[in-house]
Amino acid sequence: MDKLIITAAICGAEVTKEHNPAVPYTVEEIVREAKSAVDAGAAIVHLHVREDDGTPTQSKARFKECIDAIYKACPDVILIPSTGGAVGMSAEERLQPTELPIEMATLDCGTCNFGDEVFENTIPMMRDFGKRMMENNIKPEYECFEMGHLDTIVHMVKKGEAPGAPMHFNFVLGVPGCTSATVGNLVWMVNAIPAGSTWCVTGIGRHEFLLAAPAIAMGGHVRVGFEDNLFIERGVLAKSNGELVAKAVRLAKELGREVATSAEAREILGLKKK
Ligand code: KMH
Ligand code: ZN
């Protein structure tokens, strides 16, 4: 079994300091949270950025500022900037980080309910995102909130409309309105990926660690962080993303699975050396 890749989704676009005062907005806060996660054992940081007042933005300049500052503090980390942004943003807005020299980016694999809102990812949009990533040599992390998303992106890759093998998936389970966070649903999705692919699970809210444990046992990879969950245990806010990563590391240790460094994660994911 490969070593475990832990991703920290340190910020997201929906959570605020009202939910947890440690949610980062400024460049300094983003770096603080990225470093806490990497120091605790995260090989990857999934990155959203904000204006200083907390407003989500996909500004290329703001991404560049944050990416440069994170690399100063964590030179080896793999960054996966978001092209999902926040619900309601246009495709052009969302694609801005792909104009930067990045290794990976998320590619959201279909439209879905997202709480009371609709997260729009039409097939023509996905074609544009896939084309951009092929042109700019960016490996997508395929975000699947539903089984149909997985089927859709596998079909698009077969048609040459998005980067192909080895594909890397992130199954985001438990978003209200989307596929629920059960072990059965995780197994169903894992069984449907093309041979040679890698996968990660993101359980939303209290499901973060309930799905991390089976993923560690199944040979998959794990995402934790404020984007998905703000609590270290029931009713207790996490003090940092590092605290959430440290809990995933403890789980892996208990289950006998070694944790990958960023260099080892690059090999597992088939990325070129940085
Ligand atoms: N903020 C969500 C609407 C991604 O990063 O690609 C979308 C999201 C997915 O977070
Ligand atoms: Zn995200």
Residue 178: what pLDDT? 98
Angle at which helix 183-190 crosses helix 207-218, to 10 degrees, equals 40
pLDDT in tens, 187-220: 999 999 999 999 999 999 999 999 999 999 999 9
Mean pLDDT of the chain: 98
Q: Which protein residues are within 6 Å of ligand 1, measured from CB?
A: 13-14, 82-84, 86-87, 106, 108, 114, 119, 143
Which among 16, 96, 108 is the best mutation to test ligand 1's pocket, defined by most ligand atoms within 8 Å of the CB? 108
* pLDDT score of 273 more than 80: no
pLDDT in tens, 25-57: 999 999 999 999 999 999 999 999 999 999 999
Residue 89 Cα to ligand 2 midpoint, Å, equals 13
The span from the CA of 258 to the CA of 12, in Å, is: 27
Angle at which helix 27-40 crosses helix 60-73, to 10 degrees, equals 40
Which among 58, 80, 106, 116 is the best mutation to test ligand 1's pocket, defined by most ligand atoms within 8 Å of the CB? 106
What percent of the chain shows pLDDT beyond 70?
99
Residue 107 Cα to ligand 2 midpoint, Å, equals 10
Options 3.90.180.10, 3.30.565.10, 3.20.20.70, 1.10.600.10; CATH of 6-269: 3.20.20.70
Residue 66 Cα to ligand 1 midpoint, Å, equals 18
Q: Tokens for 4?
A: 């475990």
Which residue is closest in CA terms to ligand 1's atom 8?
84
- Closest atom of ligand 1 to CA, residue 143: 6
pLDDT in tens, 77-116: 999 999 999 999 999 999 999 999 999 999 999 999 999 9
Query: Average pLDDT in the 119-130 region?
Result: 98
Q: Which ligand approaches the C-alpha of residue 141 most closely? A: 1
Q: What angle do CA 170, 174, 175 make, to 5 degrees?
A: 90
Q: Looking up tokens 């040979």, which residue turns up? A: 219
